A and B are shown apart, each in its own frame.
Chain A
Amino acid sequence: MERIRGELPRILEGLTAIAVGTRDAALRPACVQAVGLTAEPTGRLTVFVPEATGERTFVNLAANGAVAVVAEKILTHRTVQVKGRCVEVRPAREAEREIVERCMGAFFDDAVVAGAPRGILQRKNRWPCRAVTLEVAEVYEQTPGPRAGEPFVAGGTR
């Protein structure tokens, strides 16, 4: 697992459709679109969730910390899911805005190819954000197909 955690930046590179899954005390799931991520070789992952849409997510994370993040490239459906514990939720810093804009720019490029009008996509609310940092415990292959749901193999070709 340690080796996989070290490979997180490579595994998640280019995956720009990002979402965060949480749950409340009654195990009711919640999800929210995230607008950027940055992965550390230490096994920590930070995802950026818009303030405007993330309220339920923030409440759940404060209550129990259980979190899953899915990241996909929508043009190829290459998808990875990570699970872990939230270690910090804080307002995103102005210096991190570039990460968000870069990630959303790449997502918009893919969505336009898929048929979405860029003019409308640009209106997606993406700032201000909160930075949600998690300690990754599990990494799963989630590209549609026979291996979807299997743990990621260290040193894989992806």
Chain B
Amino acid sequence: MSLGLEKSHRLFQGIIPSLLSTCAKDGTPNITYISQVTYVDATHVAVSCQFFNKTKRNLLENPQAMVELWDPVTFEGYRMELRYVRSETAGPLFDSMAHRIDVIASHTGMAGVFKLKSADVCEVLGFEKIEGFLYEGAAGAGAEAPAPESGPLNELRALSLVSSRLNRACDLDGLLKDALAALDEVFRFRHSMVLLLEEARGTLVAIASHGYGESGVGAEVPMGAGLIGTVAERRVLLRLSGIDLSLRYGRAIREGVEREAGHPALRPEVPLPGLPDAEAQLALPLLVEDRLLGVLALESRNPLAFTDWHEDFLQVLANQIAVGIDRLTEPEDEETVAPAAAPAAAPVRGRGHSFVFYKADDCVFVDGEYLVRYVPGRILWKLLTEYRNAGRREFTNRELRLDPSLGLPSVKDNLESRLILLKKRLEQKCPDVRIVPVRRGRFALEVAGAVELSERETA
């Protein structure tokens, strides 16, 4: 007979920590709050073991346990009678639980200090709602979350909608913009971003964002740092809910480590990118074959915004987005000769701007304010210099690829994503200078007003 566990996934995303009660062989009870109870299958759960403690010793000598969980929506209580079966220290279950703990450890500056020792798998012998947990008549009144509109038809419609948008995209900027907008329309995921990998620097750079206003684009996340960096490094999907509580858990451990004499030097906390008050995050690797292109990251203020269903479904979409990115960043066939000075749209009169290029770190400032750096900075400087010296207004991607001064890698140069970043930074900081696509592999530099260029060694 089914215990009904498979229909109770949200219990494992609790806002209130769960209780675990065990008993030593001599009859002494032990009770503790635990950070993770993970659904394994219809008759098994796993509890996380970060420290070899009394609970673990008890389970080894008396495998009986009881867990109490709070439903994060109705706040009803549930109890599970458990029998400890085994500890896993490798494999998919261990990895999945370890990744979540690693993300919290990374955010709280304790990567490598606090980590999963084992996933302790327990058979569920009994599972019941606790009668009388809430006052009579109060249970669930007005508390049920609206049922998500899911089902094969809705899933297929959503997939069809997003898929056709992705297929229609003719440039990378359009692809990412449409993909993130479709996620909002179809799933109401209001806050999302795509970060692409810059392999040479081991960094992910936000190249498109939705729901953050102007902020977000250009933000960088080192490989292995926080949720997004961990997803990129491990190439696995990760979901965090109850982020606030998880971070508090990590900080509690950090304080304990810091109090210890001779504790290892801890890294500073990694600020979460995006919403300052996000309660749930989901990040998916963008993979084509065995190549990591980047990460699709979504977040919400609702701790239960992402469900198991979303994980599976969004992975399909992430794969489509990855294929689209790969298609649109392949070097295209185009004429090999750079065009002469070609008139683009008539320039609009704007105020003049002063650009400074700092050679030491390939950094460009406009009117005294930081604009862009690294490869996008070098590209901008090349465009502006040729515009000033020769009046050029149209450029091809191919000529940029062939220019050794830009330092683009010979394969997988991410040129399109660097141009998007440059375009968006200009839109934000200096809208009088614009990069406008002409056709695939060709773009125009539109400049309104005079530009003054100067180069310096260092700031």
Residues of A at the B interface (CB closer than 8 Å) are 17, 19-23, 26-33, 50, 52-53, 64, 66-70, 72, 74-79, 81, 83, 111, 113-117, 119-121, 123-125, 140, 142-149
Contact = CB atoms under 8 A, between A and B. Distances in A.
7 contacts: A19-B68, A22-B29, A27-B64, A113-B244, A125-B132, A140-B54, A146-B257
Main secondary structure of the interface of A (DSSP, over half): mixed
A36 to B, nearest CB: 16
B188 interface: no
Given A19-B33, A116-B16, 12 more contacts: A21-B23, A23-B23, A29-B29, A29-B65, A31-B20, A31-B21, A68-B21, A70-B33, A77-B17, A115-B15, A144-B35, A144-B50
A109 B175 CA distance: 45
B264 to A, nearest CB: 11
Instruction: Indicate the member of A72, A77, A124, A140 with the most B CB atoms within 10 Å.
Output: A77
B31 A21 contact: yes
Contact of A114 (B62, B75, B141, B245): B245
Interface in B16-68: 16-17, 19-23, 25, 27-33, 35, 50-51, 53-54, 62, 64-68
Interface stretch (B222-230, B246-254, B281-289): B246-254
A23 B131 CA distance: 20
Contacts of B143: 117, 120
A64 B27 contact: yes
A19 B242 contact: no
B75 A120 contact: yes
A29 B21 contact: yes
A120 B15 CA distance: 13
Interface of B: 15-17, 19-23, 25, 27-33, 35, 50-51, 53-54, 62, 64-68, 72, 74-75, 77, 79, 81, 114, 130-135, 138-139, 141-143, 242, 244-245, 248-249, 251-257, 259-260, 279, 303
A68 B31 contact: yes
B142 to A, nearest CB: 8
B245 A74 contact: yes
B31 A70 contact: yes
A155 to B, nearest CB: 15
B11 to A, nearest CB: 14
A142 B248 CA distance: 15
A145 B31 contact: no
Contact of B74 (A29, A75, A120, A142): A120
A25 B279 CA distance: 43
A117 B144 CA distance: 12
B260 A123 contact: no
A33 B68 contact: yes
A78 B252 contact: yes
B29 A83 contact: yes
A32 B68 contact: yes
Contacts of A120: 74-75, 143
